[in-house]
Amino acid sequence: MTELTAVQAGVGRLAVRCRAVNEAPVFAFTVLTVILLNAVLLGVETYPGLSTVYSQALDEAEFACLVVFTLEMLVRLGAHLDRPGAFFRDPWNIFDLLVVSSAFIPFLRENTTLLRLLRLARVLRTARFMPQLRVLLVAVGRSLPGTASFLVVGALVLYVYSMVGWICFAPYDPEHYGSLGRAALTLFLLMTLDGLGDSVRAGLEISPFSIVFYASYVLFGSFVLVNVLIGVVLNALDEARAMEAAEAAEAARPAVEVTDPADELRLRITTVRQALDEMEGQLGTPLWAPHPEPSHAHSG
C-alpha cells in the first residue's frame, strides 16, 4: 500500500511538472514555430532544384521537426497522467496524437504520397495556438449538416430549371441546353453570375419571356440559396464561439489538485464538517449537544 501511494504521488508530481511546461508561453511559441517551419520545408520540396541540392539538409530538418513534435506529445500526455480521460475528451488532442504518431507507422513512412499528406496535416495543428482559426474550423464542421440540406435544395432547384431550360431552349441553343447535363452545367456556372448578360441576350433572341426564366433563376439560385448558406455558416460560427467561450471559462475555473491520499482524506473530512455546520445552522442546535432528560411529575 505504501509503494502504491508513493507511485501515485510520483505520478502526480510528474503531471504537475509537465503541466507547467505545457502551459509555458515559450513551449507554445516553440511548437508553433516548428509547425510553420514544417510548412516551409514542404513548400521547398516542391521545387526540384532545391530539393535535389539540399536533399540531406531537408531530411535532417524534417527529422528534427518530428523529434520536437514527439517530445511535445510526450509532455502533453505527461500533463494528463493523473487524469488521462481528460486528454482523450479533447478532439484536438486526438487529432494531434494521430498526426504525430502516424509518422512512426512503417506502411505510411514507405508511402511518399501519404507521408506528405500527413506532414501537410501538421500545418492544421496551428489551430491549437490560434483561437480564431480554431473557431472557424469548428464552425465549418458544425455547418456541414446544414450545408448538406442546402446542397439537396440547390440540386433540386438546379434540376427543375435545367429541365425547363432543356424544354424551352434545346432546339435553339443545343450547345448550352442540348441535354440535361449541358443545361445543368450552364445554369451551375450562371449561379456565379458569370456570363449572365450573354445568356440573357441569347435568350431574348429566342423569346422575350426568357427574361422571366433567367430572372427567377438568379433570384432563387444566386440570391436566396447563397444567403441561406451564409446564414447556416454564421449560425455555426456563433455556436462555435459559444463553445470556445465555455471551454475557456471551464479552463479558467480553479481546480483543487489532490496528489496525496492523505490530502484527499482531509479534503473529504473538511467537506463533511461543512455539511454538518450547514445542518446545525438550519436546525439551530448543535447535532452533538446533549438533550435534557424529560421531567416526570409525580402526583402525591
Q: List pLDDT tens digits, range 232-268.
A: 878 877 877 787 777 667 655 554 444 455 656 666 7
What is the reported pLDDT for 163? 92
Nearest to 100 by CA among 62, 70, 126: 70
What is the reported pLDDT for 290? 52
Stated pTM of the model: 0.56
What is the reported pLDDT for 88? 85
What is the reported pLDDT for 298? 47
What is the reported pLDDT for 288? 47
Low-confidence ranges of the chain (pLDDT < 70): 1-4, 6-7, 247-248, 250-267, 276-300
Please enumerate, as own/partner, the contacts of 217-220 that have beta carbons within 8 Å and a separation of 24 or more.
217/161, 217/187, 217/190, 218/190, 218/193, 220/157
What is the reported pLDDT for 258? 44
What is the reported pLDDT for 266? 67
CA–chain centroid gap for 257, Å, is 28
What is the reported pLDDT for 243? 77
Calculate the average pLDDT of the chain: 78
Domains present along the chain, CATH in parentheses: 8-128 (1.20.120.350), 144-250 (1.10.287.70)
Q: List pLDDT tens digits, range 14-24.
A: 888 888 888 88
